[in-house]
Amino acid sequence: MPSITIKKGWVIIMDLKEQALSLHKEWNGKITTTPKCQVKSREDLALAYTPGVAEPCKVIAGDKEAAYTYTIKSNTVAVVSDGSAVLGLGNIGPEAAMPVMEGKAALFKTFGDVDAVPICIDTKDPAKIIETVRFLQPSFAGINLEDISSPKCYDIECELKKICDIPVFHDDQHGTAIACLAAVIGALRFVKKDMKTAKFVVNGCGAAGSAIGRLLISMGAENVTMVDRFGALYEGIDANLDRIQSYLATVTNKEHKKGTLADIAKGADVLIGVSAPNVFTKEIIASMADKAIVFALANPVPETSYADAIEAGAAVAGTGRSDSPNQVNNVTVFPGVFRGAIDVRAKAITEEMKVAAVYAISELIDEKDLRADYVVPDAFDPRVAPAVAAAVARVAMETGIARIKVDPEEVRANTMKRVGR
């Protein structure tokens, strides 16, 4: 067991580095290929491979959709990265990104029974990444983009959504936004405040922060202000903005407020951080409105600790860490989103499907069970992936995105059975 020490409310695993390296060396990769068919005789060989394998080939040649019936395509997602924005490590390259992508694949399987293949591409050129993924499309039911730097991640996802007829989902953007908004809704319910009228401040206008801002607008929030190194974002600001930030400038901060985070956070109901360690000071949190909500999601060190946020006066707080209450974790999102999407052979993952996922997660906690330290379901709550899958599948069918019809409750039940929960 690793040795531990307590420092200001944090549990620090002293030999985490050594333990992680030792286990990764022992595993020699976190996933493997296991055949579903047995090949123990000449008859087995003739059926699984030549000459029998020619029969499904001929069927698929006549109808490409048959690949969903006769191959692994129906349950397989590509986890694609160029290694340009890996965790807090930055641009470390495709080889160094592999442990993260393998881990993502393991989570896909564990929480959603989705088979995922890590694909780390040795180019930083958006056009080449787009071309590579387009060429790989026939083998997969969906594409999960991961750890690709902004702003190019926006263009890569946008272009792939145009040219691919399978779901394309940048988890760093949308998985984070969905997980965060599910927690926000639970917190708002607990403190008896309303999404439409609450004052939101989002600190950090990168991929995750921008996605949170956009999803807040989609879900009806009318008072959202984005903050970054340049201060508050507003229409007409003299700053070097990417196209997503430029869009957000037109739909947020309608009062054209200017100033630093400390200025903008005064009187805020909800403060969300996807920025840098320790920037939410006790003074900033104390200046917020009564019954303030703080979600500090910088990884691995958040903008404030859970304990410090509560001590400063927040009614509800959460981080991305597993050692504190109200953890905001993407693992509550992407397994269920892809499970639901591929079960109905969806062509895309739409804004409506994302919103459905938010409510599916948040509604798992009954009003009577809400507490200051329990406003969002735990990552290991067995209800999460089935609920998200059913909600996503339902909306995909209602909006014409699905290729096939499946009862959402059947999707829920099958997901529960698949993941053994």
Instruction: Report the sign of the C-alpha dihedral through residues 369, 370, 372, 373, in that order.
Output: positive
Which element (helix H / strand E) includes 227?
strand 224-228
| Helix, strand or coil, per DSSP, at residue 150 | coil
- For residue 308, CA distances in Å to 280, 283, 421 come to 9, 11, 35
Structure-token pair, residue 89? 């490590």
Strands 270-273 and 293-296: parallel
Structure-token pair, residue 350? 């739409």
- Say which of 104, 152, 193, 354 is annotated catalytic: 104
Of 115, 117, 123, whose CA–CA distance to 156 is shortest? 123
49 part of the active site:
yes
Of 76, 51, 75, 73, whose CA–CA distance to 63 is shortest? 73
Of 14, 356, 334, 312, whose CA–CA distance to 185 is shortest? 356
Q: Where are the alpha helices (DSSP H) in 38-146?
A: 42-48, 54-62, 67-70, 94-112, 126-136
30 part of the active site:
no
DSSP letter assigned to residue 145: E
- Say which of 17, 30, 40, 49 is annotated catalytic: 49
Positions marked catalytic: 49, 104
